[in-house]
Amino acid sequence: MTFYAGTLTSELARAEQGYRDRTPQSATAQARAARVMPGGNTRSSLWAAPYPLSITSGSGCRITDADGHEYVDFLGEFTAGIFGHTCPALERALTEAHRGGFGLSSHTPYEADLAEELAARFPSIDLLRFANSGTEANLMALTAARLVTGRDRIVVFAGGYHGGVLTFGAGNAPVNIPFEFAVLPYNDLQAVAQEFAAAGDRIAAVLVEPMQGAGGCVVGTPAFLQGLRTLCDDSGALLIFDEVQTARMAPGGAQERLGITPDMTTLGKIFGGGLAFGAFGGKAEVMARFDPSHPEAIPHAGTFNNNRLTMAAGLEAVRHHLTPGALEALFERGEVFREALNARFSAQGGAFHVTGMGSIMNIHAVAEDPAVRRDRLRLLHFHMMERGYYFAARGLIALSFPLGEAERADFLDTLDTVLAAGRASSEF
Ligand SMILES: Cc1ncc(COP(=O)(O)O)c(C=O)c1O
């Protein structure tokens, strides 16, 4: 075991040095950015030691770094990049909207068009509003729940991620908004039932991802999610499904696959057609509180809430790309790919496994020692990048539409080669 860990450590150091040798321009870009941004970073999730790649361009499912290396992109902008990196139809939609003028200081037809499309897809959404990010959508959904129920307590789950100030990877993060959160174990209905028994009359909402995305693609069990529905029904709390990632699982999101209708749904990422986007919606009686003609309306302002370019791109995306057929096919491709990955991993000794749903999944290293898990995943990540495959350092993979059969098959073969070499030298 000592020998094993030693091999892993020295191989990791060698792989990291190889990364540095191959990517000097990314190092230079990082050093430059660090002079004006803390750590050269403006988006924490992109950070990976020793420094992340500086990507200069992308096309279809491929990206190119500052040193000219091409990678097949299996990350797909942390699930937002479902369309790939170039999409002529989105480009046309954006150009057309831009030509017609943007920043028009009022409503434009695009926003009602997009709202109609989304409301038609999600049975949980009678009325909705747009925002600028998934984070903001969740903030507004929670705010609505608190104001509508007159209660303060919010149930969320360990490992959950609902945005930069709603992050529960390690309990209630210091950066989070100062709401009263009960952070409970995910997929543990008993714990939630106990919480409701103790404080049900103070709980405004349960905010849950049908699959915890940033938490490592941990899938919610149908019994757990259905149980949350029942507990909320019995206590008058609102059930909020955060479908910022899982909306791609079906035209009506993961909730359609599960057959569970939450009171409110939050959306983001793909429905902006590649631009910054968020939306929250739900039952008419809840959402009607935002009607500004109402004397006691809940205000929700935002310069870019109805940004014409975002609305136009989102509309094009929903009408012509995120079609039921395309989403179903992507879901199936993801299921097959995840199974194939797991088959390769177990055939090669079981040092890794993959969890997920449809086209979103996460590779995990298997080992008792967390340090070994971390180093194994880092090593696999370096090895795959060296061979031209890009996914998140934390193991996240999100398939995009242009990522084809050939790319997926090559990824699997390359993985086999890497795993076999790693086993031979006791790295994995
Ligand atoms: C499930 C979930 N909710 C909310 C968010 C926050 O969305 P945004 O990054 O657009 O603020 C994310 C982002 O990754 C997410 O995965």
- The tens digit of pLDDT for each residue in 311-345 reads 999 999 999 999 999 999 999 999 999 999 999 99
Ligand 1 binding pocket mutation candidate from 42, 142, 161, 207 (most atoms within 8 A of CB): 161
The one catalytic residue among 51, 110, 161, 389: 161
> What is the 137 CA–ligand 1 centroid distance (Å)?
9
| Mean pLDDT for the stretch of residues 101-130 | 97
**φ, ψ of residue 94 in degrees (nearest 5):** -70, -40
- Domain locations along the chain: 2-85+324-424, 88-320
Q: What is the pLDDT of residues 12-61, one digit of tens each?
A: 999 999 999 999 999 999 999 999 999 999 999 999 999 999 999 999 99
> What is the 163 CA–ligand 1 centroid distance (Å)?
5
At a CB cut-off of 8 Å and minimum separation 6, what does 267 contact? 118, 134, 137, 243, 244, 247, 277, 278, 279, 280, 281
Q: What is the pLDDT of residues 183-194, one digit of tens each?
A: 999 999 999 999
Does residue 108 carry a pLDDT above 80? yes
**φ, ψ of residue 132 in degrees (nearest 5):** -105, -10
Q: Are 243 and 267 in contact (CB under 8 A)?
A: yes
Q: Is 79 left (phi over 0), alpha (psi -120 to 50) or beta?
A: left
* DSSP 8-state class, residue 91: H
The predicted pLDDT at position 176 comes to 98
Q: Measure the CA–CA gap between 128 and 126, rounded to whole angstroms.
A: 7
> What is the 162 CA–ligand 1 centroid distance (Å)?
5
Q: Which two tokens stand for residue 193?
A: 């039932």
Q: In CATH, which of 3.30.565.10, 3.40.640.10, 3.20.20.10, 3.30.1360.120 is domain 88-320? A: 3.40.640.10
Does residue 2 carry a pLDDT above 70? no
The predicted pLDDT at position 3 comes to 38
Q: Which protein residues are within 6 Å of ligand 1, measured from CB?
A: 78, 133-135, 138, 161-163, 209, 213-214, 242, 244-245, 268, 278
At a CB cut-off of 8 Å and minimum separation 6, what does 209 contact? 157, 160, 161, 162, 215, 220, 241, 242, 243, 244, 245, 246
Percent residues over pLDDT 70 in the chain: 99
- Closest ligand 1 atom to the C-alpha of 278? 10
Report the CATH architecture of 2-85+324-424.
Answer: Alpha-Beta Complex (3.90)
- Does the active-site annotation cover 161? yes
Write out the H or E segment, with its range, that includes residue 55.
strand 55-59
Q: Which two tokens stand for residue 68?
A: 């000219």
Ligand 1 binding pocket mutation candidate from 78, 218, 243, 244 (most atoms within 8 A of CB): 244
Does residue 402 carry a pLDDT above 50? yes
- Closest ligand 1 atom to the C-alpha of 214? 16
- Does the active-site annotation cover 269? yes
Q: Which two tokens stand for residue 45?
A: 């999730």
Q: Are 79 and 360 in contact (CB under 8 A)?
A: yes
